[in-house]
Structure 1
Amino acid sequence: MTHLTDLTADVVLPCLDEAAALPWVLEHIPVGWRAIVVDNGSTDGSADVARSFGATVVHEPRRGFGAACHAGLLASDAEYVCFCDCDASLDPGLLTGFVRQVALGETDLMLGRRRPQGRGAWPAHARAGNLALSRMLRRRTGVTLRDLGPLRAARRADLLALGITDRRSGYPLEMVVRAADAGLRVTEADVPYRPRTGRSKVTGTWRGTWHAVRDMRAVLSRPPAQSLRRTSTAPDTVPNAPAEAAK
């Protein structure tokens, strides 16, 4: 039997040109956990930085936040899988508490509710878009969340069983929607949210935010999936996963 103090997890880090932020993020990965950096076409040497810190590097040529996240999920092999942005805005060390709550059976999908720390941590247009989506999520699923934050944890089998199809900005939202449709418990806890290193590829501009909201509205417009189950019948191993382990 695994003791709670011995819990380990894989942390999926979708990455596009985050070489400047990666050292801080990887230094805060919990001891004994595996960081899976999914390089989504970086040109700044992000993959080399990740390898230098002992991370597993997965190359995902299809551009898109969801494509990177899902490639990391498929490459993982731990019972618990976490997600975190790799722009140094969120501390992956907080994920130990998230995994603990999932392991204790207190929740099935744990999200971090971002609490801005300092000026510019969360631009007004990004907060407005997030608030609108939270309201639409409540109408669609009945789940009340104040944020759809990227810091999250769940059992790998549960996530695979959801059959998430979005490969762009709608991936995090679809994960929550399908989890709710499957009867999984979705909860959130406050986490500090620091100003990111560099400019956001998604919410750094009004245009980027609009495209993200458009993707997410498309997710909310889909009817509930009728075949979702609590656990997956698919094998846990993924043939030919493009993972490159650090040496």
Structure 2
Amino acid sequence: MRVLIPAYNEADSIPLVIKDIPSIVTEVIVCSNNSDDHTVINARRAGATVVEEPVPGYGNACLKGMEYVAALSSPTDIIVFLDGDYSDYPEQLIELIAPISENNIDFVVGSRVKKWRERGAMTIPQIFGNWLATSLMSLFFKSKFTDLGPFRAIKYDKLLELEMEDRTYGWTVEMQLKVLKRGWSYKEVPMKYRNRIGVSKVSGTVKGAIFAGVKILVWIFKYGFKK
């Protein structure tokens, strides 16, 4: 099992994230997305492998990490995606992968449930966007997803079958939509969620929030009307 962490200027938080990842993980891979602070240095000092993707975009960073994993000689059974801002609780990775390792589920999303979510950890646009996206997914696909949370786990062979392509903020919803279209098994696991370290590159700006929302809706309608 390997963990992929897309990161853009997360120098302060990345060591904390890496430190809290359970030791059962084979390798932690930080995908630095054109960071110009000490993200790369701090990640390496904390024991992670670092790959660098100079072209901006959340999906670009994830794809670079997948490219690295594909070139490895040692096998990978599960890939866990985790953000580098310390808003998730990396130690909950054990709970996240349990449906895969114990019940052979294909894909798991960590759901940022309200009762375990720190006040202010998700902005109003994020909460509304999640509700709208998951409601449309339910309408089009009878989906039971309630969140587009970035803390997620998937069987590696299934991840490759998805042929992921989004290079920016549509990455998470693309993955969920493709899982639904293929009729694979999936599950949500309730997760704690706290205020991130630093300012969000998406929800922290009006431009980022709007762009992310548009990307998500484009993917949903693209697949919703696709036969």
Q: TM-score under structure 1 normalisation?
A: 0.84
Aligned to 1:97, what secondary structure does the other structure show? helix
Could you say which residue in structure 2 is the equivalent of 1:69?
Answer: 62
Q: 1:10 corresponds to which letter in structure 2? A: R
Contact 2:130–2:148 at 8 Å: present in 1 too? Answer: yes
CA distance in 2, matches of 1:113, 1:99: 13
Aligned to 1:143, what secondary structure does the other structure show? coil
Could you say which residue in structure 2 is the equivalent of 1:242?
Answer: none
Contact 1:129–1:209 at 8 Å: present in 2 too? Answer: no
Aligned length: 218
User: Structure 1 residue 60: deviation in Å?
Assistant: 1.1
Is residue 2:49 matched to residue 1:56?
yes
Of residues 29, 34, 43 in structure 2, which corresponds to 1:36?
A: 29
Cα shift readout 1:30-62 (whole Å, capped 9, x = no counterpart) = 114111100000011101100001101011122
Cα shift readout 1:12-46 (whole Å, capped 9, x = no counterpart) = 10000000001110101111411110000001110
Could you say which residue in structure 2 is the equivalent of 1:113?
Answer: 111
Query: What do you get for the CA RMSD once the two structures are aligned?
Result: 1.6
Of residues 40, 48, 55 in structure 2, which corresponds to 1:47?
A: 40
TM alignment of 1:1-247, pairs within 5 A: 9-33=1-25, 34-76=27-69, 77-115=75-113, 116-223=116-223
Contact 1:85–1:150 at 8 Å: present in 2 too? Answer: yes
User: Structure 1 residue 106: deviation in Å?
Assistant: 4.6
CA distance in 2, matches of 1:73, 1:96: 21
Aligned to 1:222, what secondary structure does the other structure show? helix
Aligned to 1:187, what secondary structure does the other structure show? strand
User: Structure 1 residue 93: deviation in Å?
Assistant: 1.7
Aligned to 1:90, what secondary structure does the other structure show? coil
CA distance in 1, matches of 2:124, 2:44: 35
CA distance in 1, matches of 2:97, 2:133: 25
Which residues of structure 2 form unaligned runs of 5+? Answer: 70-74
Cα shift readout 1:194-225 (whole Å, capped 9, x = no counterpart) = 00000100111333211101011111122477
Contact 1:176–1:186 at 8 Å: present in 2 too? Answer: no
Contact 1:145–1:188 at 8 Å: present in 2 too? Answer: yes
User: Structure 1 residue 187: deviation in Å?
Assistant: 1.3
State the percentage of identical aligned residues.
31
> Which one is further off, 97-106 or 14-23?
97-106
CA distance in 2, matches of 1:32, 1:108: 19
CA distance in 2, matches of 1:187, 1:100: 10
Q: TM-score under structure 2 normalisation?
A: 0.91
Q: 1:94 corresponds to which letter in structure 2? A: Q
Quick check: which one's helix share is greater? 2
Cα shift readout 1:79-99 (whole Å, capped 9, x = no counterpart) = 110001110000122112222
Q: 1:87 corresponds to which letter in structure 2? A: D
Aligned to 1:12, what secondary structure does the other structure show? strand
CA distance in 1, matches of 2:145, 2:181: 15
Aligned to 1:112, what secondary structure does the other structure show? strand
